[in-house]
Amino acid sequence: MEEQEVIIIGAGPAGLFCAIHAAGAGHRVLILEKNERPGAKLLLAGTGQCNLTHDGEIRDFVTHYGDHGKFVKPALLSYTNRQLARFFEERGLPLKAETNGKIFPVSRRSEDVLSCLLAECAKSGVTIRCSEPVTSVSRKDDRFIVTTAKTTYSIRTVVITTGGASYPRCGTTGDGYRFAEGLGQPVTETAPALTPLVIRPFPFASLPGLSFEDMRFSVWRDGKKVLDHTGDVLFTHLGLSGPGILDASRWIRPGDTVRLSFAGPMRRDEFAADLAKRAPENPGWHVATILAKYPIPERLNRKLLQLCGIPDGHTCAHFSAEMRSRLVEHCTEFPLVVSALGDYSIAMATRGGVALDGVNQKTMESKIIPGLFFAGEVLDIDGDTGGYNLQAAFSTGYLAAQGIIRKENKGGGEKNNSG
């Protein structure tokens, strides 16, 4: 049985960053990784271009983690987006903020980000053992017994950074949840997050690629509104995607109705009043001509009229109140019933995970099991698109390292130096 000082399970961004800072403070750190190489999911981040973080003030990030921004706030403040950018730039990897606030490496290569992290691990003396999947984690007295496919380790401190369950081809198959539950750490229900919506039947399946900036939409469940949201929306062959839909997906469930507004900033009553005024003023115009006066793409214009049962060439002189009412609803609150959410194979993140009320938000240590730490997506934290999830991974990984350092210093020689 090998004795170690700190074992980190999972060589993703949270695990690597935790290892760098714990080892930098003098701890002997071993990372166990099930894949043949570290950072498998990191290499896919931002379609391989690695949207590392977001521009702006770090305090503004808190609103981008659904209901859990309060928990992640200490981590974000402990290691900010500015500090993260400086970390990479000081190591020869310049970054650039896009006009939309997303921050990428200038090279646009996730591989460069991973190489930088691995080089720093090597410099700090971190040991990484790949192709060594952990099969179980148990507790005996004041130590953890970590069993892998190759050997067994006795360890005082364990950090679980296995990620969530999205992109299972990268090895993120929810192992961390199993380890946590086996130790008695509560785990909430998990599901895909940052994922598109499947609509069946989808009336706009013939318009894939059509996109809308800052579209207003609402989500209804059992006749009650559960969400108002604004963001970019994209039509796909199967339903809805785009940053706005992906960010809202954490709150959406199968059976919910999403109501889309194609009328830009105009509310239903305002649109109805404007349409009721325009049509009588131009009786010889086609209804399609009137509709073209609003910010509705031409292809969608024709489809909406068809769905309303308004024939081509129909003039405003014959535009009945019933037709107008249907068109107003279709343009401002078009209802689409969600059949399903995209599964883990296409979801960018996981909703749910290690329950936050069982974790100290200032140290990332378990409140239940001393010496057990968590960082990254294995926690019940999922951020919006735009670099917020990677920032949370780096920040919680850093804070876990600081928690380990403070715990050992407070213990006054508690560190195990037995080899």
Rounded CA-CA distance 219/248 in Å is 9
Q: Is residue 418 part of a domain?
A: no
User: Domain containing 273: what range?
Assistant: 196-342
Q: In the structure encoding, which two tokens stand for residue 210, read together?
A: 């059509």
pTM: 0.89
Same domain flag for 212 and 356? no
Q: Based on the structure, what is the number of domains in the chain? A: 2
Q: Is residue 298 part of a domain?
A: yes
Same domain flag for 145 and 242? no
Q: Is residue 150 part of a domain?
A: yes
Same domain flag for 211 and 263? yes
Same domain flag for 145 and 93? yes
Same domain flag for 321 and 398? no
Q: Is residue 417 part of a domain?
A: no
Of 324, 342, 360, the position where a domain reaches its end is 342
In our burial notation (b when 16+ CB lie closer than 10 A, e otherwise), range 209-235 reads eeebeebbbbbbeeeeeeeebebbbbb
Of 342, 366, 394, the position where a domain reaches its end is 342
Measured in residues, the chain has a length of 419
Same domain flag for 184 and 218? no
Q: Is residue 224 part of a domain?
A: yes
Same domain flag for 248 and 261? yes
The set of long-range contacts for 264-272, using a CB threshold of 8 Å and a minimum separation of 24, is 264/294, 264/295, 265/216, 266/294, 266/332, 267/332, 268/328, 268/329, 268/332, 268/333, 271/328, 271/331, 271/332, 272/324, 272/325, 272/328, 272/332
Rounded CA-CA distance 382/397 in Å is 15
Rounded CA-CA distance 373/399 in Å is 10
Same domain flag for 135 and 225? no
Q: Is residue 94 part of a domain?
A: yes
Among positive and negative, which fits the CA dihedral 38, 39, 44, 50?
A: negative
Q: Is residue 65 part of a domain?
A: yes
CATH number of the domain encompassing residue 101: 3.50.50.60
Same domain flag for 128 and 76? yes
Same domain flag for 337 and 372? no
Same domain flag for 328 and 359? no
Same domain flag for 353 and 378? yes
Task: Provide the residue-wise pLDDT of the chain in tens; the chain has 419 residues.
Answer: 656 689 999 999 999 999 999 999 999 999 999 999 999 889 887 788 999 999 999 999 999 999 999 999 999 999 999 999 999 999 999 999 999 999 999 999 999 999 999 999 999 999 999 999 999 999 998 899 999 989 999 999 999 999 988 877 766 778 999 999 999 999 999 999 999 999 999 999 999 999 999 999 999 999 999 999 999 999 999 999 999 999 999 999 999 999 999 998 889 999 999 888 888 888 888 888 888 888 889 889 999 999 999 988 888 888 888 898 999 999 999 999 999 999 988 888 999 999 999 999 999 999 999 999 999 999 999 999 999 999 999 999 999 999 999 987 776 444 433 33
Q: Is residue 416 part of a domain?
A: no
Of 342, 363, 383, the position where a domain reaches its end is 342
Three-class SS state of 103: strand
